[in-house]
């Protein structure tokens, strides 16, 4: 397949390039040129009429969207999820599993592996994010305590057996006994260790970072906070230059002022926008269940009967728009946190995450309000907005 997106505003890593053309061939970005450069007459041209041409978004922490729940670990759920996120500009995702029994974790990983091999239409699945089970019960959030495990080399091997290359991120509380051993195992296996659901002191969190933690799961949420005499997890994350920090920019999980604080301390190069979305995201659903946990949607928040947050209803395009409204960042800076940064953390930046010749043609077309008009995965149009319903 060969075509060219013409007359767009290219969103690159540092600036906006107006009236740019992107020539796509065999699923790759073949050539990027200015409007004065002629394109072969036999190449199909798609005029995007001055819309933003952005790298596709990458969501490395998502449980569900569009009525589908990856926790179910079925082909239907994963296929539905990868198609449901396309209308929100997501071209790559890491289905995320909350703490589960070991047998179900293996079922989930098998399902993710099968889905990758099936090569279905929709967003690409890069691998899995295991949010647990080595979490601190005092910061478990909605994770069922019965599914939490004490970290050990043996427990890690049991959970990850035959799936080491599939697991991209594992959320761990570093203060737990032998957690540093597991963090070392992750590092050796090329798995990103993420601090989360943790009550670590600053020193304990720093020890985890020194052992190999390079990521923070939904920063500010379900972790020890910044205190005057013990900066806790948040302080360790903000002060470490080597840790990427996820943030749920929905205005519910984190106050916009804390989003701005994170951006000023970590900077745009170490901040990653995620959704932590659950099944009702992008739908009108009011009740749902995830991993045996029942919750309802109230004023946009996913809440259990006890009032605990249970994931979010956020979508990646909405996260981008929220950060634009809460900050003075330029569009390329915001997009980088939704595309190139997660690509780097997932070690896939050589093939996606930015619009560079030779990379996959993973592209989202955004209107002036940063709403998704269309998106492409490896040059295949996976979504186009209904102009009547989106106007």
Are 123 and 154 spatial neighbours (Cβ–Cβ below 8 Å)? no
Mean pLDDT for 220-226 is 96
Q: Which helix (H) or strand (E) holds 112?
A: helix 102-118
Classified as helix, coil or strand, 141 is coil
Is the pLDDT at 35 greater than 80? The verdict is no
Is the pLDDT at 38 greater than 50? The verdict is yes
pLDDT, mean over the chain: 95
Is the pLDDT at 329 greater than 70? The verdict is yes
pLDDT digits (tens, 9 = 90+) for 59-97: 999 999 999 999 888 999 999 999 999 999 999 999 999
Band (pLDDT 50/70/90 cuts) for residue 120 is: confident
Sequence-ordered list of residues with C-beta below 8 angstroms from that of 390, at least 6 positions apart, any chain: 371, 373
In terms of pLDDT, which residue wins out, 241 or 1?
241
Q: What is the pLDDT of residue 317?
A: 98
Kindly report the length of the chain. 391
Residues facing residue 294 across a β-bridge: 289
| d(C-alpha 192, C-alpha 34), whole Å | 39
Q: What is the pLDDT of residue 133?
A: 97
Q: Worst-scoring range by mean pLDDT, 132-136, 162-166, 249-253? A: 162-166
Q: Which of 276, 317, 360, 362 is catalytic?
A: 276
Question: β-strand 57-62 against 271-274: which pairing, if any?
Answer: unpaired
Q: What is the pLDDT of residue 267?
A: 94
Could you give all domains of the chain from N- to C-terminal order, each with its CATH number?
2-54+354-390 (2.30.40.10), 56-345 (3.20.20.140)
Q: What is the pLDDT of residue 371?
A: 97
Mean pLDDT for 12-23 is 92
DSSP structure string for 290-330: ETTEEEEEETTEEEETT--B-SB---HHHHHHHHHHHS---
Q: What is the pLDDT of residue 206?
A: 98
Of 266, 321, 340, 336, which is closest to residue 15 (Cα–Cα)?
Answer: 336
Residues facing residue 304 across a β-bridge: 295
| d(C-alpha 179, C-alpha 332), whole Å | 37
Of 95, 98, 100, 146, which is closest to residue 125 (Cα–Cα)?
Answer: 95
Mean pLDDT for 99-121 is 94
| d(C-alpha 370, C-alpha 391), whole Å | 13
Band (pLDDT 50/70/90 cuts) for residue 13 is: confident
Is the pLDDT at 36 greater than 80? The verdict is no
Is the pLDDT at 156 greater than 70? The verdict is yes
Mean pLDDT for 318-343 is 97
Q: What is the pLDDT of residue 14?
A: 85
Q: Worst-scoring range by mean pLDDT, 29-43, 113-127, 196-210, 304-318? A: 29-43
Indicate if 276 belongs to the active site: yes
Distances (CA, A) of 278 to 117, 175, 290, 302, 309: 24, 28, 8, 8, 11
Sequence-ordered list of residues with C-beta below 8 angstroms from that of 380, at least 6 positions apart, any chain: 1, 27, 121
Q: What is the pLDDT of residue 387?
A: 67
């Amino acid at each position: 397949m060969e075509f060219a997106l013409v007359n767009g505003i290219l969103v690159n890593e540092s600036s906006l390039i107006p009236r740019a053309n992107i020539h796509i061939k065999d699923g790759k970005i073949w050539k990027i040129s200015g409007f004065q450069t002629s394109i072969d007459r036999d190449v199909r041209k798609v005029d995007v009429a001055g819309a933003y041409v952005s790298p596709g978004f990458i969501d490395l922490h998502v449980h569900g969207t569009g009525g589908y729940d990856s926790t179910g670990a079925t082909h239907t759920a994963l296929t539905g999820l990868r198609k449901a996120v396309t209308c929100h500009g997501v071209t790559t995702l890491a289905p995320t599993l909350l703490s589960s029994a070991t047998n179900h974790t293996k079922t989930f990983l098998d399902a993710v592996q099968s889905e990758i091999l099936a090569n279905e239409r929709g967003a690409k699945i890069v691998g899995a994010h295991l949010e647990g089970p080595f979490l601190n019960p005092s910061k478990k959030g909605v994770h069922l305590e019965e599914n939490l495990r004490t970290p050990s080399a043996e427990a890690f091997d049991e959970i990850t057996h035959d799936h080491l290359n599939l697991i991209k991120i594992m959320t761990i509380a570093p203060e737990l006994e032998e957690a540093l051993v597991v963090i070392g195992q992750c590092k050796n296996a090329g798995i990103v260790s993420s601090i989360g659901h943790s009550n670590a002191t600053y020193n304990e969190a720093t020890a985890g970072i020194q052992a190999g933690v390079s990521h923070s799961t939904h920063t500010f949420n379900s972790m020890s906070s910044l205190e005057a005499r013990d900066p806790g997890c948040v302080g360790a994350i903000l002060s470490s230059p080597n840790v990427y920090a996820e943030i749920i920019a929905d205005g519910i999980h984190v106050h916009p002022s804390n989003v701005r604080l994170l951006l000023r301390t970590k900077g745009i190069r170490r901040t990653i926008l995620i959704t932590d979305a659950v099944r009702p995201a992008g739908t009108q659903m009011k009740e749902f269940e995830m991993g045996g946990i029942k919750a309802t949607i109230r004023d946009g928040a996913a809440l259990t009967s006890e009032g605990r947050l249970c994931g979010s209803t956020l979508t990646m395009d909405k996260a981008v728009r929220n950060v634009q409204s809460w900050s003075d960042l330029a569009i390329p800076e915001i997009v980088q946190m939704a595309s190139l940064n997660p690509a780097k953390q997932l070690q896939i930046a050589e093939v996606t995450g930015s619009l560079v010749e030779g990379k996959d043609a993973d592209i989202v077309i955004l209107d002036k309000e940063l709403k998704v008009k269309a998106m492409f995965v490896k040059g295949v149009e996976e979504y186009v907005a209904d102009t009547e319903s989106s106007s």
